[in-house]
Amino acid sequence: MNPFLPLAWAHDSFWSFFPREIVGLTAHFFDPAETSVADPAAPLQSQLDAQEAHLADDPQHSDASIAPVSETASRARPLVPDDASGQRWSSERFEYGNETYHFKMYVPGAHDGQPLPMIVMLHGAQQDSDDFASGTEMNIVAEEKGFIVVYPEQSESSNPLRCWNWFMPANQTRDSGEAAAIAALTREVVATYNVDRTRVYVAGMSAGGALAVNLAVTHPELYAAAAIHSGLAFGVADEQLTALCAMNDGRGKVRLPQTSSDQPRPRAVPLIVFHGDADDTVHPRNSEQIVSMSQLLHGMPEDAVPVLSTHVGHEANGHAYTRQVFHDCDGALVGEQWLVHGLGHAWSGGHPDGTHTDMRGPHATREIARFFGQFVNDGGR
């Protein structure tokens, strides 16, 4: 994933057609050297100062956090800190079928043994856990607000560019592929550690955002809410060529799983969507498709006019944005859409220690944490 290449995702997916050996020989000519990434578990003082300034400048959106844990959450294995600070940034592995998934996990230092909420973070192509954690600064917010963060990693054996294969039909079903594997990993961490089952969330960027959509659609009982940054809607592609087309023009057809008419409609997962209107890798029209998809999942007719409120803002020394807040017919909050003006294919408000970030904001990570804090999944008990 290269934000400086006009069709970076197309380039990445193109090379995924070829064997790893060929990709390895050509990568030097087409991809820049990897960006060095600072330790994501050790925030710089400048980052902490920036957080305080952000809180002072924008109290409307940043004073909320992941909601308090529920009293009914199960208690499991205690979390042992790495050092006296209490923080834990650990490397883990998870076996699923014939695959081994590596992941990293961040545990805040302030926890006192109670069950904590958890966010599953899915990286983009050519990223890993350290890179994604540094760029999004999710660990910093987790330390402040008190939640666990899990970062699954795609393997090069599954995709030479470490891109989640969100477009493959096997990964768009409940019982197979990468969506099933990440859901199983989520349940494993929930069962092993002090996680509040009612407050489990998923977020992703680019290919990870598209896979987060797949998880929200196929496992609505598991995730209380989801965040999609620069991603795509469910079912808009079923192989690499249609994936490229959907990314380039945002005109893929949303194909949701079929449900029986005599069964209750599955729970719809609330979504917060971030996208830059200057994104030339994943067309911003894909953001609109995700919103329309969410409307269908909530049982609203395709031609219905959503109940929404619109807010226009501008970050100090940063990007302007348009924020829309959506409610269902009963007035319940079901989603938000942030269109960041001038933002390309990059994490909004991210730190330059990570790749594919734009520090000019708005700060997507803080807004995602605020949004998640409004939702509890009672079916997760």
* CATH number of the domain encompassing residue 210: 3.40.50.1820
Which of 24-38, 60-74, 310-324 is the most confident on average?
310-324
26 within some domain: no
6 within some domain: no
Q: Are 149 and 138 in contact (CB under 8 A)?
A: yes
| CA distance readout (Å), 149 to 103, 135, 284, 289 | 10, 14, 27, 28
Residue 114 pLDDT grade (very low, low, confident, very high; cuts 50, 70, 90): confident
Percent of the chain scoring above 90 in pLDDT: 64
Give how many domains the chain has, as a whole number. Answer: 1
16 within some domain: no
- Mean per-residue pLDDT over the chain, rounded: 82
121 within some domain: yes
As a whole number of angstroms, the distance between CA 374 and CA 262 comes to 31
Average pLDDT over residues 32-60: 44
pLDDT at 292 (0 to 100) = 93
22 within some domain: no
What's this model's pTM, rounded to 2 decimal places? 0.81
More confident residue, 81 or 238: 238
Average pLDDT over residues 278-307: 88
Average pLDDT over residues 364-378: 97
Which of 86-100, 291-305, 320-334 is the most confident on average?
320-334
pLDDT at 42 (0 to 100) = 52
Q: Which class for 240: exposed (0-12), middle (13-18), buried (19 or more C-beta within 10 A)?
A: middle
* Residue carrying the six token digits 């494993």: 188
Q: Give yes or no for residue 29 having a pLDDT over 60.
A: no
99 within some domain: yes
Range of the domain at 224: 46-380
Residue 21 pLDDT grade (very low, low, confident, very high; cuts 50, 70, 90): very low
As a whole number of angstroms, the distance between CA 300 and CA 256 comes to 14
24 within some domain: no
Q: Give yes or no for residue 131 having a pLDDT over 50.
A: yes
Weakest-pLDDT range from 38-42, 135-139, 181-185: 38-42
Q: Are 65 and 144 in contact (CB under 8 A)?
A: yes
Average pLDDT over residues 152-162: 93
Average pLDDT over residues 234-251: 95
327 within some domain: yes
pLDDT at 14 (0 to 100) = 43
As a whole number of angstroms, the distance between CA 63 and CA 148 comes to 19
| CA distance readout (Å), 60 to 357, 359, 366, 370 | 24, 20, 12, 10
Q: Give yes or no for residue 79 having a pLDDT over 90.
A: no
